[in-house]
Structure formats: C-alpha cells, structure tokens
Amino acid sequence: LLGRAQAAGEIVLICGHYKGIDQRALDLLNPREVSIGDYVLTGGELPALVVIDALVRRIPGVLGNSDSAEQDSFTAALDGRLECPWYTRPPEYRGLEVPEVLLSGHHANIEAWREERSRERTRDRRPDLLADED
C-alpha cells in the first residue's frame, strides 16, 4: 500500500464515522479500502493518521537518518520480519542490562545477534511473516 501510494504522488483518505461510509459513495468512487487491524474505532481519522505517518517517514529529510526507514520492521532489509530489540544507554537500568554482545564492539557477532532476535521476535509475535521459512 505505502509503496503504491508513494509512487502515485498523491493519496486521498476518506474517513468513515461510526458505521462507515455511505455505500453510494463507495459505489461511485470505487476506493481502495484499507484496514489497519481487526478492531472497531469511532471514526477513520486515527487510521488515516497511521497511514499518513507511515508515508511521511518515507519523505527524504523527515527522519534524521534516511537509512533508518530501510531497517524498519517489514522491510526488505529484514526479509519482511520484525525488528530486533533495541537498547540505549546506560548499559544497566534498574537491574536490567544491555546484552553483552551489543557492548562487545564485534560487529559480526552483533549482526548475528540482531538477526536471531529478529527471527525470534517474529516467530513469537507474527509467525505468519515466516510462512516461507522453516
């Protein structure tokens, strides 16, 4: 969806309210309907903001590091998997420590750790994304 919307150069979001959008409008406009999950909201404004935020992240200059979006969950760089867990400073917080491998400076070991944690997280949270594996 995001790739197609970005390639089109423009997108129109129609936000339903309560029960949705008048069927006649749908019949006339023939829009591509999008779901952001299996739950019901009061209106379509919040889902529209989700779509807008996901699109805006792809605009050059929006993110401090443009490579960040290429490494997000669901991207080709991760083979469609979820991201690994991320840690910041300090190395210990309230008894919880950053995994030692991440502090080691050994880039190959760090990359292997991230790859394994990405697979583990995806297997736990979204096994459907690993359907082509195993």
| Per-domain boundaries in the chain | 1-64, 71-134
pTM as predicted: 0.71
pLDDT of residue 133: 63
How far apart are the C-alpha atoms of 5 and 106, rounded to whole Å? 40
Distances (CA, A) of 131 to 28, 113, 126: 38, 22, 10
Question: What confidence tens digit (pLDDT) does each residue in 63-122 have?
Answer: 988 777 888 888 888 899 999 999 999 999 999 999 999 999 999 999 999 999 999 999
pLDDT of residue 53: 93
Assigned CATH class of 71-134: mainly alpha
pLDDT at 124: 97
Q: What is the pLDDT of residue 134?
A: 53
Name the CATH code of domain 1-64 (choices 3.40.50.300, 3.40.50.1860, 3.40.1280.10, 3.90.550.10).
Answer: 3.40.1280.10
Tens-place pLDDT, residues 40-51: 899 999 999 999
